[in-house]
Amino acid sequence: MKNTIENNLRVWDREYPWTRDGDEWDGQARLCGRPYEAWKHSVVETFIAPHVSTSTAVLEIGPGHGRWSKEIVDRCQKLVLADLSPSCLEHCRGVFGDREHVSYVVTDGRSLRGVADASIDFIWSYDVFVHIEPEVVADYLAEMRRVLVPGGRAIVHHAGRRHAFLPLRTLKRFGERGAQLYNRLSLGRRDEDDGWRSDMSRRRFKGLARRNGLRIERQIDRWGRNGEFGVPRYRDAISLLRRPEEDSLPSEALARSAQSNPDTDRG
Ligand SMILES: C[S@@+](CC[C@H](N)C(=O)[O-])C[C@H]1O[C@@H](n2cnc3c(N)ncnc32)[C@H](O)[C@@H]1O
């Protein structure tokens, strides 16, 4: 199944059962050999807590049923939840509805229309971009630059297939066997599915971020003492991005620079 906006909308809005509101996704913790709660706590302490305080405006892209939003909501000044799925945002509204500093934006799947220019200090997105096709990732990166304040940061979890094997994505046209071969080469594993990972490598993500005016500060797949925690499943990665301090282009110029830069294929 392709990683299109339409398929993401259908799956997450209507088909997925959300048995534990996102806490059922314990595969990364299991592969690290750590209890899920310890792994989740390490994600919060490593990636969220250091960037969020009571003066921080936070945007979460793809909150789903609020697995991470619940960890952010009491730490920040303002929380914007932006998701393609109206039913996910409805669920979040049920959880946070009475909180005045939380707002909700239904996206078109590729833009952050409804989020003002330079209004966000920190963007968080986990388990979302892993399923989004590169062309759409590029559009979102341009939008992240627009909504972040100069100097603001984004932390994005994304797919990390082996870059050299991305051109072999065309094998998927040849059915199950072709897809299996592509997955084995680009993910380096057998027998399992590909977790519906998009055709993204670390290098390709880095290139797209740069081309859209964001600085990559780090790409991480392990953290904690001796790398005890991480996102090793499906070779995932987490990128720390920054809108440069000196970047204060007005939004029309940002929109032009994104449009003049549609290439998403050279990593
Ligand atoms: C696998 S769920 C993850 C939910 C949550 N981030 C978590 O970790 O529990 C993917 C979420 O991303 C949202 N999503 C998928 N594609 C999107 C897109 N193009 N734009 C915005 N949200 C998207 C889905 O609606 C869903 O809420």
Strands 229-230 and 120-125: what pairing? unpaired
pLDDT at 151 (0 to 100): 97
Rg (the chain; Cα; Å): 18
**Residue 242 located in a structural domain:** yes
Q: pLDDT tens across 37-95, in order?
A: 999 999 999 999 999 999 999 999 999 999 999 999 999 999 999 999 999 999 999 99
63 with 174, same domain: the answer is no
pTM of the model: 0.94
Output helix, strand, coil percentages for the chain, rounded to the nearest 5. Answer: 45, 20, 40
The CATH number of the domain where 243 resides is what?
A: 3.40.50.150
Q: How many domains does the chain have?
A: 2
Check whether residue 56 and residue 183 sit in a common domain: no
Residue 215 counted as domain residue? yes
Q: Please report which confidence band the pLDDT of residue 193 belongs to, taking 50, 70 and 90 as the band edges.
A: confident
Residues 95 and 185 in one domain: no
**Average pLDDT of the residues in 165-170:** 96
Domain ranges, residue 91 = 5-161+197-259
User: Does 105 fall in a domain?
Assistant: yes
Q: Is the CB of 3 under 6 A from ligand 1?
A: no
| The pLDDT value given to residue 253 | 63
Percent share of the chain, pLDDT over 90: 89
End-to-end CA distance of the chain: 23
For residues 55 and 118, state if they share a domain: yes
**Is there a single domain that holds both residue 185 and residue 85?**
no
CA distances (Å), origin 148, targets 4, 115, 213: 25, 10, 11
Backbone angles phi, psi at 176, to 5 degrees: -55, -45
User: 118 with 24, same domain?
Assistant: yes
| pLDDT one-digit tens code per residue, 1-11 | 999 999 999 99
Q: How far is CA 79 from CA 9, 59, 155, 266, in A?
A: 22, 6, 15, 34
How far apart, in Å, are the Cα atoms of 24 and each of 28, 47, 152, 238?
A: 11, 20, 31, 20
Regarding whether 207 and 189 lie in a shared domain, the answer is no
Q: Is residue 267 part of a domain?
A: no
Residue 67 Cβ contacting ligand 1 at under 6 Å: yes
| Mutation to probe ligand 1, out of 84, 91, 143 (largest number of atoms < 8 A from CB) | 84
How far apart, in Å, are the Cα atoms of 21 and each of 8, 66, 224, 233, 257?
17, 7, 26, 20, 38
pLDDT, tens digit (0-9, with 9 covering 90-100), for 208-222: 999 999 999 999 999
| Domain assignment of residue 266, yes or no | no
Tell me, yes or no, whether 149 and 179 share the same domain.
no
Token digits for 48? Answer: 């969220």
| Whether residue 227 is found in the same domain as residue 96 | yes
The reported pLDDT for the residue numbered 262 is 44
Residue of the CA atom closest to atom 9 of ligand 1: 22
